[in-house]
Amino acid sequence: MQTSIFGLGYVGTVTMACLARDGHQVVGVDVNKDKVAALAAGSSPIAEPGLSDLLARAAQQGSMRATTRVREAVAASEISLVSVGTPSRANGEPDLSFVERVCHEIGEAVREKGASHTIVIRSTVPPGTTARCETILRDESGSSGVHLAFNPEFLREGSAILDYDDPPYTLIGTEDRVAEANVRELYASVAAPVLVVEPAVAELVKYVANAWHAAKIVFANEIGRIAKQSGVDGREVMDIITQDAKLNVSPAYMRPGFAYGGSCLPKDVRGLLFQAQHHHVPVPLLAALPVSNTQQIDAAVAAVLARRPRRVAVLGLAFKTNTDDLRESPAVALVKRLIGEGCEVAIYAPDVDESRIIGTNLSYIREHLPHFEALMVDQVDSLLNWGDVIVVTSADGGFRKALADRLQDRVIVDLGGLFPPTARIPDPDYFGIAW
């Protein structure tokens, strides 16, 4: 494809070299004349393994050039990638002025060009930016022939070319079929699954990915500090943790929903925090876990109370499905809070048989809901008819079946992700805690 890249920093330069290598004709655009001159000569302005060779070869073959002229680049291309910087302002807000300025300039150039053009935002931007850029581009170009997509990059410095060639997926944020087709064609030589989502979803994915990477680093470092003071090699501990691809390095536990609970996670997080305190090791990330978990319960309580219910029907009481373990269940905490706010509560929990609860499980529920048996019902249909608000605490298939025909006439607070994103439930009386 005839391609132009705006912003020849780290991402722009690597992308430029890889696209040229893969057979595309690429023109790079930047306001820095020295950078443009270096790239035009096939020289790399940054240090990255393998990059200099790719740029030199592309310049020699004539598949790559660089310029400071926006109109020249747009006229010579059918698709433009925007990879300009989005630095932080003093308050942490990303500065989008460079992205918006480039969109203004590309829009003016498209008007002059008088032909259809695809623009792909690759800069890291907050949700809603691509939509704002589309408005700018359409206003400046005066054309409906502008096609826009957001395509985040996942390149690591030091292995950027390898990452370009072997990404986990190619993410395309667009609702424009022309833009989608052009981005697919652009990366046709990259063997990776293609995910097409709404632009705002793709925009947020990029932030979340980097935040998750940062969280992993901080987590490993906090574990290392605890290990060091306990006379343990933290590297050995984390090496074993990362060898478990079933739970530790996997999609497990990576879905938003209700708070964690049960007999292990709350207790063991507290135990690890005690170990850190015992050795005077500061672990702010770990210390924030129970705080954030409690805030998720607070959010659930607020969501229910906002609907001003008199009678609340709760589906599920154990800390997760297919168990009767009530210990530190967030559903128990939720029920206790709702009763304290004056709500009548009734519970349908098919996995919980009151007559079989024993030991510490029984002790816990007796302490927190002394007369819980009086709250339990065994008929879900009558409960759903009784409640002003239905609260779903887990994604139990039986709950989904029971509610399938009631979505249009019940007020539902879903804390467990009972219905998948594809369900697209339109009812305004349906509230998902994170969707």
What domains appear along the chain, each with residue ranges and CATH number? 2-197 (3.40.50.720), 199-254 (no CATH), 293-432 (3.40.50.720)
Task: Tell me which amino acid residue 262 is.
Answer: G
**What is the radius of gyration, based on Cα positions, of the chain?**
27
152: pLDDT confidence band, cut at 50, 70 and 90?
very high
CA distance 367 to 275: 27
Is the pTM above the cut of 0.75?
A: yes
Structure-token pair, residue 153: 């990059």
Q: Write out pLDDT tens, residues 26-84.
A: 999 999 999 999 998 899 998 899 999 999 999 999 999 999 999 999 999 999 999 99
More confident: 422 or 351: 351
Q: Which of 110-119, 176-185, 416-425 has the lowest mean pLDDT?
A: 416-425
pLDDT at 424: 66
pLDDT at 423: 67
Q: Write out pLDDT tens, residues 309-366.
A: 999 999 999 999 989 999 999 999 999 999 999 999 999 999 999 888 999 899 999 9
Half-sphere exposure of 394 (CA within 13 A, CB side): 22
Strand partners, 389: 312, 411
Strand partners, 432: 414
pLDDT at 144: 79
CA distance 71 to 320: 58
With a cut of 70, say whether residue 4 has pLDDT above it.
Answer: yes
The interaxial angle of helices 129-141 and 199-229, nearest 10 deg, is 150
How buried is residue 13: exposed, middle or buried, by Cβ count under 10 Å (0-12/13-18/19+)? buried
Task: Tell me which amino acid residue 290 is.
Answer: P
Q: Which of 18, 103, 133, 264 is catalytic?
A: 264
pLDDT at 12: 96
Q: Give percent helix, percent strand, percent coil of the chain, each to the nearest 5.
A: 45, 15, 40
264 catalytic? Reply is yes
